[in-house]
Amino acid sequence: MTVLHNKVNRQALRERLMKEDFRRITVSFYRYFYVDDVQAFRDALYLKWSTLSCLGRIYVAHEGINAQMSVPEHEMGAFMEHLQSVGGLQQVPLKIAVDDDGRSFIKLNVKVRAKLVADGLADGSFDVTNVGTHLTAEEFNRAMDLPGAVVVDMRNHYESEVGRFEGAVCPDADTFRDELPMVAQILEGKEEHPVLLYCTGGIRCEKASAYLRHKGFSQVHQLHGGIIDYVRQVRTQNLPNRFLGKNFVFDDRMGERISDHVLAVCHQCAKPCDDHVNCANTSCHHLFIQCHACRAAYCGCCSMECQTILEAHNAEQASSLSLFPESSSFESTSPESSSFESTSAVFSTLEPSSRESIYHGNADGLATSTNGASAKPSAATQSTVYRKGRPPGREEAAAPHAVYPA
């Protein structure tokens, strides 16, 4: 039986990618259309794109497809030809990555989902086809200056933290599901104002604009093609760029540099920084912003607790190799899983208070003041549940939205 999913471990995949002698192009696209047999659709895409050496993360559902992919440059013609042959994907617009090193993905992953974007809303609760007006980059720039115009970032808080449009309302949301009702509440009383929505590639704005129109907003507009295509148009048409900082992307690059502005700070020392990383302790894997100096000081970890776990795991691994040197010639089927089990085992040996501090975001040993002294976390911080991308001291009961200055 044909294997329709990847079975090679990440280390081997990454080494294979680094040895490639051809250029890759990172592309993204989405389309809402009805898919009858989702599993068969998924399998057909996986089989074809595997033969073209495509990599990426693709979601398929009864309502369509949402794809972010890395395609070999020499296979782009065949890839485009295949898209034209698939019912529902003819003439689908592709968005080309802005800042692309060809290392955005290491494997091909095609997943079946209930919905392309998890919105938490019941099917049929509103007309998803009644979307807002699509604006080009030039039109979006002009609309931002309309009297009473409100620009709304439809991405998660950790995305807008590193990059956003001038004067945008940036909801303090962890997920799109949380953000929809939050935005409706923020905009209450502005039903007749021009509302300008934007997101990474446009798919979230499709749902959001239809939702706001359903809620009675009469002038809903959305940036066609999202930030990715906005930047392409700005650069090819020599338009003023009004997006500041980085565009966060959901692949190994973690972000595309759009302007020289650095809007965020390191979550450990508070120095200007907009580099997202995942905690090197794989049993934590917390997403946060870390500068190069703190990365070296904390071994890529988000806290001293995680650093202790990582160092204990590395020592245990080194000890095992010294006792059984022949084991180094064998490759684990899943290095992540073995690392996770080992670090989790070390994690379980910690005192309960230390384990609690990691799960609940205690910033002891994590936050430092600008003079290098340890910053003592507040009681509120100690009892705060750790949320993705949260800097130390940011509380769970945060304001419903944040408006960042230009």
Which residues are marked as active site? 199
- Residue 120: DSSP 8-state: -
Task: For residue 42, give the H/E element and its range.
Answer: helix 38-51
Report the C-alpha gap between 166 and 101 in whole angstroms: 27
Radius of gyration in angstroms for the set of CA atoms belonging to the chain, rounded to a whole number: 23
Report the C-alpha gap between 235 and 291 in whole angstroms: 29
Q: How far is CA 275 from CA 68, 155, 253, 311, 402, in A?
A: 21, 17, 10, 23, 21
Token pair recorded at residue 369:
């003041």
- CB burial class (10 A; 0-12, 13-18, 19+) of residue 77? exposed
Query: Looking at the DSSP assignment, which residues form a beta bridge with residue 57?
Result: 68, 109
Residue 388, SS3 per DSSP: coil
Cβ neighbour number for residue 87 with a 10 Å cutoff: 10
Report the C-alpha gap between 106 and 101 in whole angstroms: 12
Q: How far is CA 147 from CA 193, 194, 308, 371, in A?
A: 8, 8, 54, 44
Query: Looking at the DSSP assignment, which residues form a beta bridge with residue 60?
Result: 65, 112
Residue 146, SS3 per DSSP: coil
Pairing of strands 150-153, 195-198: parallel
Residue 403, SS3 per DSSP: strand
Report the C-alpha gap between 317 and 312 in whole angstroms: 9
Q: How far apart are the first and last CA of the chain?
A: 56
Cβ neighbour number for residue 373 with a 10 Å cutoff: 8
